[in-house]
């Protein structure tokens, strides 16, 4: 296991292009919420088919969730308070959605760079100065 993986660090994902929407979703009862991108968004950005994506990156976790459940969880987030953000999804849909977990490898594939930062304790008195 990578040493960095053992630490709780802030990860900042930087990109020159608008980042794809990221959804904090619990996909199974045995796991907590994790961050997922819509596979369809990823495929569109990479200009790949679902089949070639799965063949090229078999280790990347892709899960399928009911659109209604996805909508239910996503709409609970205060970050999606703008109605237009979820207007493409239907709360009563019986369709399924494929999600791919947001990871450092996927971020790199999408042209983003990742910067990690250990959270530092707050200064006791006053603010901090420069950098």
Interface with another protein: number of residues (CB under 8 A): 38
Q: Which is nearer to another protein, 6 or 51 (CB)?
A: 6
Give the C-alpha separation, 71 to 67, whole Å: 6
Q: Which of 10, 51, 58, 121 binds another protein (CB under 8 A)?
A: 10
Long-range contacts (CB closer than 8 Å, 24 or more residues apart) made by 118-124: 118/7, 118/9, 118/10, 119/8, 119/9, 119/10
Q: Which of 81, 94, 121, 124 binds another protein (CB under 8 A)?
A: 81
What φ, ψ does residue 98 adopt, rounded to 5°?
Answer: -95, 130
Q: Which of 122, 118, 103 is nearest to 10 (CA)?
A: 118
3-state secondary structure of 86: helix
Q: Which of 4, 35, 40, 72 binds another protein (CB under 8 A)?
A: 35
Q: Tell whether residue 108 is a contact of another protein (CB under 8 A).
A: no
Q: Which positions touch another protein (CB under 8 A)?
A: 8-19, 21-22, 24, 30-35, 77-79, 81-82, 84-85, 102, 112, 115, 117, 119, 122, 127-128, 130-131
């Amino acid at each position: 296991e990578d040493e960095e993986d053992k630490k709780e660090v802030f990860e900042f994902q930087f990109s020159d292009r608008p980042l794809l929407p990221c959804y904090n979703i619990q996909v199974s009862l045995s796991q907590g919420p994790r961050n997922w991108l819509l596979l369809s968004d990823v495929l569109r950005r990479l200009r790949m088919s679902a089949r070639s994506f799965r063949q090229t990156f078999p280790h990347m976790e892709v899960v399928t969730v009911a659109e209604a459940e996805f909508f239910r969880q996503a709409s609970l987030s205060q970050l999606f308070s703008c109605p237009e953000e979820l207007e493409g999804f239907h709360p009563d849909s019986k369709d399924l959605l494929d999600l791919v977990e947001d990871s450092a490898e996927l971020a790199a594939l999408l042209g983003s760079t990742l910067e990690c930062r250990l959270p530092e304790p707050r200064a006791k008195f006053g603010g901090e100065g420069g950098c």
